[in-house]
């Protein structure tokens, strides 16, 4: 199977999983940010699990690994990738870059959200 197809199929599955998990959390706890928090944290745990297992089994299929990490978990949450990349920077002794990634992504993402909201509200 080509990598792009594994990513596409995995992404579709991850997006459906995100929707289902978020609905279940909302049903249990009511409408709130808890659903997003749960998806982001569980996605980080799952990506760490897959990445850690892949380090122990480097012979595992790149198609499977990419389909799960980029596809399924990328469709489920990109927050997990953000956390993985930050963790890898910390593990390699690049604490400054890890901090820049964490704080920069947060600040720029929030600024972009406000810009998008403002632009969207003027176009509506």
pLDDT at 50 over 80: yes
Is 72 inside a domain boundary? yes
pLDDT of the residue at 46:
94
pLDDT at 124 over 90: no
Is 38 inside a domain boundary? yes
Is 53 inside a domain boundary? yes
Closest residue by Cα to residue 102 from 76, 70, 77, 79: 79
Is 94 inside a domain boundary? no
pLDDT of the residue at 106:
92
Is 26 inside a domain boundary? yes
Is 8 inside a domain boundary? yes
Is 54 inside a domain boundary? yes
- Return the percentage of the chain with pLDDT > 70, whole number: 99
Give the residue-averaged pLDDT of 70-83.
92
Give the residue-averaged pLDDT of 34-46.
91
Mean model confidence pLDDT for the chain: 92
When divided into structural domains, the chain yields a total of: 1
80 pLDDT band, cuts 50/70/90, is confident
Is 82 inside a domain boundary? no
Domain enclosing residue 43, as ranges: 3-77
Residues whose CB is less than 8 angstroms from the CB of residue 112 and which lie 6 or more positions away in sequence, other chains included: none
pLDDT of the residue at 123:
87
């Amino acid at each position: 199977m080509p990598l792009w197809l594994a990513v596409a199929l995995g992404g579709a599955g991850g997006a459906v999983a995100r929707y289902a998990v978020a609905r279940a959390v909302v049903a249990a706890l009511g409408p709130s940010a808890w659903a997003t928090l749960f998806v982001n944290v569980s996605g980080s745990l799952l990506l760490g699990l897959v990445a850690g297992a892949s380090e122990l089994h480097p012979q595992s299929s790149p198609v499977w690994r990419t389909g799960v990490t980029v596809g399924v978990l990328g469709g489920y949450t990109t927050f997990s990738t953000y956390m993985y990349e930050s963790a890898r920077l910390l593990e390699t002794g690049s604490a400054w870059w890890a901090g820049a990634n964490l704080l920069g992504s947060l600040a720029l993402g929030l600024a972009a959200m406000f810009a998008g909201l403002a632009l969207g509200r003027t176009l509506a």
